[in-house]
Structure 1
Amino acid sequence: MRTYGQYCPIARGAELFAERWTPLIIRNLYLGCETFGEILAGAPGLSRTLLTQRLQQLERVGIVASAPKGHGRGHRYRLTSSGQDLFKVCETLGEWGARWLEIAPENLDPYVALWSMCNALRSERLPDRRVVIRFDFTGYRPHERYWLLIEQGETEICKTYPGLDEDLYITADAEAFVKWHAGQLTWVQATRDSQIQLEGPSWLVRAFPQWNSRSMFAHVKPDPSVGKAIVRTPT
């Protein structure tokens, strides 16, 4: 790990926190990810090798603790008191990003929004039977399709057909879906002009938007200046 060579707490903290992927690993652990696979699933693009290195580094400095699984191979990870305190930095950074940064086209990965939504579903509102939902996302990269399985309060995202009957079909523009989860669009706005379309039993169509507890930063409203071009007057 490279060092700034300064005693300043900002410099020393940044040496750890500003490492690529570290804030997302801390975020995923805070959201309840415990296993290597769960942490990896919430960070598309992060390699297994780099995640191993980051977890080892965070354990060495006391931010993360691990213990062998009770059954099977591998370990379970959790944030220590130090890690919980460091998440406050993630939270402040997220609030700043929600207020001052525009959601650009390269930020519109619908899988990340779906993963985030599944980690914050209102379990008390989920159906008491198995439900399989197919998502078809448009307007981002090539056409993307995922399946969400809900059973006994547990959720799983599948990237291939799970071999089960589908109960609800959702076709969504990626931008509308991401901004709805992020709190920048209401459900009425997101479904306007068929940006998000649902097909299935009426009770599921009505219930689906009620499951989403939205992003933890949905309460942060973007500054009015975000997204507006800055025009410089020639001198």
Structure 2
Amino acid sequence: MAEYGDYCPVNMATEVVADRWTPLIIRELLLGSTRFNEIARALPGISRTLLVQRLRHLERRGVVETWPSPNGRGREYRLTDAGRDLESVIDAMSRWAIEWLFEDLKPDTVPPTTLMWWMHQRVEPRRFPPHRTVVEFRFRDAGETIWLMLDRGTASVCVQHPGFEPDVVASATTATFSEVFSGVRSWRQSVLAGDIEVHGMPQLTRSLPTWFLWSPWAKVSKERAQRALAAEGAARGTLG
């Protein structure tokens, strides 16, 4: 990896975090991933070899450190103080992209398994039902079904039937689920519009949206979507 000198602080920072995939790895660590496979699962397209290289680079630069896993199998990756201090950098990058690249966002291109992995990272265990609950997500366009099992304050993603009948079934396109997760539209709006179909016990179907925190940038995306919609309406009014 090229080193370009220490004449500029921006240059010094780019040598640490500006390579492709590196900010995304930091994002996953900030969201709570600690195991290699967890990070890899959230980053479709990265090779395991490249992920190893990037993690070693971050470790050498004092951004990441490794610890023995509490269960005694393997090791965990954790951010150092310097790594956690990058949260504001990742947040600023995301906000900038939402503000200036909003029209280029393509929610339908995220793989369903990746989207479900992100969703399971962003849950609110205090709002979970008191009993084990299985939610079946059907991705109409992709022809995939993925289950999320909520039990004892934890959420698990199952790409194969978990062995328990679903308590709630939610069906939509990948783009719709992705737009809800990102904050572009709400779960309630999508259900009322018929874009999401939900079946199950009424108390579960009503409370389901409260089990998720959605994207860390959902509020920003919602505000940007509202401005885009208002601008589009104003343009139509001018043309009319």
**Taking structure 1 as reference, are residues 152 and 60 closer, same or farther at Cα in structure 2, changes over 3 Å only?**
same
Compare 210-219 and 100-109 and name the one that shifted more: 100-109
Query: SS in structure 2 opposite 1:66?
Result: strand
After TM superposition, the structure 1 = structure 2 runs for residues 93-172 of structure 1, keeping only pairs within 5 Å, are 93-102=93-102, 103-104=105-106, 107-139=109-141, 142-172=142-172
Q: Is the 8 A contact 2:107 2:178 kept in 1?
A: no
Q: Cα offset for 1:96?
A: 1.0
Cα distance in 2, alignment partners of residues 51 and 114 from structure 1: 21
Aligned to 2:236: none
Judged with a 3 Å threshold, the aligned counterparts in structure 2 of structure 1 residues 105 and 165 are, in CA distance, closer, same or farther, namely closer
| Contact 2:41/2:114 (8 A) holds in 1 | no
Aligned length: 226
Secondary structure class of the residue paired with 1:149: strand
Hey, what's the Cα distance between the residues in 1 that align with 2:15 and 2:187? 41
Distance 1:123 1:17 in 2: 32
Cα drift, residue 105 of structure 1? 5.2
* TM-score, normalisation: structure 2: 0.86
Equivalent in the alignment of 1:66: 66
C-alpha distance after superposition, 1:145-169 (max 9, x if no partner): 2111111011111112222222111
Look up the SS of the partner of 2:191 in the other structure: helix
- Distance in 2, Cα, partners of 1:219 & 1:161: 33
Contact 1:100/1:222 (<8 A) preserved: no
Root-mean-square deviation (Å): 2.1
2:70 partner amino acid: G
Task: Give ranges in structure 2 of 5+ residues lacking alignment.
Answer: 233-240
Cα distance in 2 for partners of 1:197, 1:64 equals 42
**Structure 1 residues 208, 162: CA separation in 2 closer, same or farther (over 3 Å shift)?**
same
Q: Where does structure 1 lack aligned partners over 5 or more consecutive residues?
A: 229-235
Bigger mean CA offset, 14-23 vs 106-115:
106-115
Quote the Cα distance in structure 1 between the aligned partners of 2:179 and 2:164.
29
1:225 Cα offset (Å) = 5.8
Cα distance change on mapping 1:105 and 1:117 into 2, 3 Å? closer
State the distance in 1 between where 2:217 and 2:45 align.
23
Structure 1 residues 108 and 150: CA distance shift in structure 2, 3 A: same
Range that drifts further, 123-132 or 218-227: 218-227
Q: How far apart, CA to CA, are the structure 1 residues paired with 2:204 and 2:192?
A: 19
For residues 61-119 of structure 1, the C-alpha deviation after alignment (integer angstroms, 9 at most, x for no partner) is 10001111233321111110110112221110011112222322564434333222221
Deviation at 1:186, TM superposition (A): 2.0
Distance, in Å, in 2 between the alignment partners of 1:58 and 1:209 is 36
Q: How is 1:178-193 mapped onto 2 (pairs within 5 angstroms)?
A: 178-193=178-193
Could you say which structure has the higher helix fraction? Answer: 2
For the residue of structure 1 that corresponds to 2:219, the secondary structure is: coil
Structure 1 segment 197-216 matched on structure 2, within 5 A: 197-216=197-216
* Identity %, equivalent residues: 37
C-alpha contact 1:134 1:170 (8 A) present in aligned 2 = yes
